[in-house]
């Protein structure tokens, strides 16, 4: 079906001036004011007929001048919405309204938006401005806004490539393991059909000498790549994506909105640390900017054609904010693949458990980080109490608690727990946040709709927002960090990096690890080869390089604790329960993102329990699905 054919089904008085693709969507631009304001019923009927999303936008010849439109919007929208800015994208016929309370801008059942549309003849888009401003969020939005003209051409080109095909009912499907098989880190899966070549994640390793995915495999060709999908922002899933853009890739990057912003934060820090420590990074900030420029962000449960024979749907993975289970429908009912990436199928304060309601799954690539028989995590309430007890015990003897944590996910989970204990009077020591934790937390408050329902309510009512608790104090400079270390009073220090591979945690260990009053608490997975893993195994004299490259020894005298239950991954029982609870049972399950022995053990158990074919590919294996 061609665009002109779709256009011909609209009323003759629609006065369509331009018809374009916007990714897999169709966009009509009209110069008929009445049709723009009141033509939704005709558009809905056409959507039902062709089963494609259609957006109706105004031609700029009917839109009010910017200043006049701004004044009308400010009169229409109640002051309680706290509008921060109003931007215009003439290329899309859009007016972007940035407000602290988007719900008020939208109005009851959307009545305020309709009024804006009727009075200004602009298509309104609302963006949340949180109480705490994020430079990363602002910069990402700025790049997308500034590149509006380029993105319109780019999105149209994608749509033309996809066209309106649904793919063949026959054909072959295969994937190549370019990373994360038999290991934790550098997730990268190359999915191919006769029509399409798509990359599922492209990450770097944690604490390994082999850091990059195997994109030098003979079957992988950057020039023929159709799309990249990023499941979530952690560097072992997103850290190598900018490299693709810096070395020639110009195609789309599909992810959720929080993932786009959080991975930008992590990638910028990643290359900054590498430049400072080694003088060399695999890409520059230009690659990161290009990734943002080419990003297409999807909501959960939003269906999107990404190639002529692949249809993508993201669902909540429960791992970190914006993390997504990736479901790909291939061909006209030919095959359905579920790539879980990292998932959490258990209760947390931060997120809802991973989604299970898929109607069809033939093949599944399942993580196995905690796949061994002994990988059983305590219940959440027990984990929370264990952490609070460690803090109280350490504070009683006048010590400090140092918690190395990932900036995204585990830090915010711990923050919610500590804020609740503080509000109940059970925690009476300050909590210092260092590294990227504060910036990552601000991004969480920008997208509360991706958090648990309980947490959403707390954030919307600022007086009960746990992230705004007065127990938290941001450490924003070296001098402030030094003051925290030298202060003799008990406190909690929540800092990056989570596996002690660099960052502020090193300064705290140098200053505090030799004091037996203090406690070092691990709350997350420690990959093999990292300093965190060595400390967990009992190493107490650890070699490291100082800022000048000189070799030194870090002595650990502090108490060492591991508090299980804060991981963003499912434990063995949760992984098994997740497969059991899936609405559609897969025919084949492939295990990845786990040590080889754990993946094999879990594969054997799943085969026995569910009578499905299971296997554990190795990196560089190619597997035919159909």
Facing residues of 433 across strands?
Answer: 474, 494
Helices marked H in 490-583 — which ranges?
504-512, 531-536, 572-581
Helices marked H in 341-474 — which ranges?
380-396, 410-423, 437-446, 453-460
Residues 6+ apart with CB under 8 A from 66: 88
The domains found in the chain, sorted by start residue, are: 3-58 (3.30.300.230), 66-129 (3.30.300.20), 153-374+569-624 (3.60.15.10), 380-562 (3.40.50.10890)
The span from the CA of 116 to the CA of 106, in Å, is 10
Taking only the tens place, the pLDDT of each residue in 107-159 is 999 999 999 999 999 999 999 887 777 889 989 999 999 999 999 999 999 99
Phi first, then psi, for residue 112 (nearest 5°) are -70, -40
The span from the CA of 470 to the CA of 467, in Å, is 9
Of 542, 614, 616, give the one whose Cα is nearest residue 585.
614
Angle between helices 478-486 and 504-512 (to 10 degrees): 30
- Average pLDDT of the residues in 385-407: 95
CA 601 from centre of chain: 29
Q: What percent of the chain has pLDDT over 70?
A: 97
Strand order through the sheet with 363-367: 303-307, 310-316, 324-330, 335-341, 363-367, 588-592, 613-615
Res. 169: pLDDT tops 70: no
Q: Is the pTM of this model over 0.85?
A: yes
pLDDT at 462: 62
The structure tokens 């990249």 sit at 228
pLDDT at 530: 87
Res. 208: pLDDT tops 80: no
The span from the CA of 28 to the CA of 36, in Å, is 10
pLDDT at 167: 56
Taking only the tens place, the pLDDT of each residue in 213-250 is 999 999 999 999 999 999 999 999 999 999 999 999 99
Q: Say if CB 411 and CB 444 are below 8 A apart.
A: no
Q: Say if CB 469 and CB 423 are below 8 A apart.
A: yes
Of 204, 209, 212, 239, give the one whose Cα is nearest residue 528.
209
- Region of poorest pLDDT, from 155-159, 176-180, 206-210: 206-210
pLDDT at 367: 98
Question: pLDDT tier at 25 (50, 70, 90 boundaries)?
Answer: very high
Of 437, 381, 427, give the one whose Cα is nearest residue 405.
437
Residues 6+ apart with CB under 8 A from 551: 543, 544, 545
Question: pLDDT tier at 586 (50, 70, 90 boundaries)?
Answer: very high
Q: Say if CB 157 and CB 22 are below 8 A apart.
A: no
Quick one: three-class SS letters along 503-515? CHHHHHHHHHCCC
Q: For residue 624, give the H/E element and its range.
A: strand 622-624
pLDDT at 209: 56
Mean pLDDT, the chain, rounded, equals 93
Phi first, then psi, for residue 585 (nearest 5°) are -85, 125
C-alpha separations of 255 from 282, 409, 442 in Å: 22, 17, 19
The span from the CA of 32 to the CA of 176, in Å, is 51
- Average pLDDT of the residues in 605-624: 98
Phi first, then psi, for residue 524 (nearest 5°) are -140, 175
């Amino acid at each position: 079906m061609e665009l002109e054919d779709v256009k011909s089904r609209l009323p003759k008085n629609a006065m369509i001036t331009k018809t374009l693709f916007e990714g897999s969507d169709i966009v009509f631009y009209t110069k008929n004011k009445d049709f723009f304001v009141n033509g939704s019923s005709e558009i809905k009927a056409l959507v039902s007929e062709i089963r494609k999303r259609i957006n109706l936008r105004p031609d700029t010849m009917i839109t009010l001048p910017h200043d006049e439109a701004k004044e009308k919007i400010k009169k229409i929208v109640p002051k309680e919405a706290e509008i921060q800015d109003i931007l215009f994208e003439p290329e899309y016929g859009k007016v972007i309204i940035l407000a602290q309370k988007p719900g008020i801008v939208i109005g009851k059942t959307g009545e305020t938006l309709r009024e804006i549309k009727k009075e200004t003849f602009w298509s309104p888009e609302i963006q949340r401005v949180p109480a705490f401003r994020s430079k990363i969020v602002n910069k990402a939005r700025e790049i997308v806004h500034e590149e509006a003209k380029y993105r319109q051409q780019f999105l149209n080109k994608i749509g033309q490539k996809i066209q309106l095909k649904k793919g063949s009912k026959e054909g072959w499907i295969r994937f190549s393991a370019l990373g994360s098989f038999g290991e934790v880190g550098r997730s990268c899966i190359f999915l191919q059909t006769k029509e399409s070549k798509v990359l599922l994640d492209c990450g770097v390793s944690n604490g390994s000498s082999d850091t990059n995915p195997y994109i030098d495999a003979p079957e992988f060709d950057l020039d023929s790549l159709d799309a990249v999908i990023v499941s979530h922002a952690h560097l072992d899933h997103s850290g190598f994506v900018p490299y693709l853009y810096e070395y020639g890739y110009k195609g789309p990057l599909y992810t959720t909105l929080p993932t786009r912003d959080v991975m930008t934060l992590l990638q910028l820090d990643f290359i900054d640390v590498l430049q400072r420590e080694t003088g060399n990074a695999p890409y520059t900030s230009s690659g990161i900017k290009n990734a943002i420029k080419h990003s297409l962000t999807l909501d959960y449960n939003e269906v999107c054609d990404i190639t002529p024979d692949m249809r993508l749907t993201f669902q909540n993975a429960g791992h970190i904010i914006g993390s997504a289970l990736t479901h790909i429908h291939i061909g006209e009912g030919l095959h359905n693949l579920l790539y879980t990436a990292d998932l959490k199928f258990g209760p947390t304060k931060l997120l809802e458990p991973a989604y299970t309601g898929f109607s069809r799954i033939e093949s599944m690539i399942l993580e196995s980080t905690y796949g061994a028989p002994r990988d059983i995590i305590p219940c959440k309430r027990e984990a929370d109490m264990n952490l609070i007890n460690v803090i109280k015990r350490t504070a009683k003897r006048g010590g400090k608690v140092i918690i190395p944590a990932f900036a995204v996910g585990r830090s915010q989970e711990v923050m919610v727990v500590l804020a609740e204990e503080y509000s109940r009077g059970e925690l009476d020591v300050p909590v210092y946040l260092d590294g990227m934790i504060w910036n990552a937390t601000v991004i969480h408050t920008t997208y509360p709709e991706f958090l648990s329902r309980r947490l959403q309510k707390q954030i919307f009512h600022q007086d009960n927002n746990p992230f705004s608790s007065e127990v938290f104090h941001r450490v924003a400079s070296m001098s402030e960090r030094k003051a925290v270390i030298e202060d003799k009073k008990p406190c909690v220090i929540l800092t990056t990096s989570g596996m002690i591979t660099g960052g502020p945690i090193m300064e705290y260990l140098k200053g505090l690890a030799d004091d037996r009053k203090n406690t070092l608490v691990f709350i997350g997975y420690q990959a093999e080869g990292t300093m965190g893993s060595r400390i967990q195994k009992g190493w107490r004299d650890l070699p490291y390089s100082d800022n000048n490259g000189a070799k030194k020894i870090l002595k650990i005298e502090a108490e060492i604790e591991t508090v299980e239950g804060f991981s963003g991954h499912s434990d063995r029982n949760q992984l098994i329960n997740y497969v059991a609870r899936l609405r559609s049972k897969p025919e084949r399950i492939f295990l990845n993102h786990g040590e080889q022995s754990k993946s094999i053990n879990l594969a054997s158990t799943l085969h026995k329990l569910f009578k499905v074919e299971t296997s554990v590919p190795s990196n560089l294996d190619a597997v035919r699905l159909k």
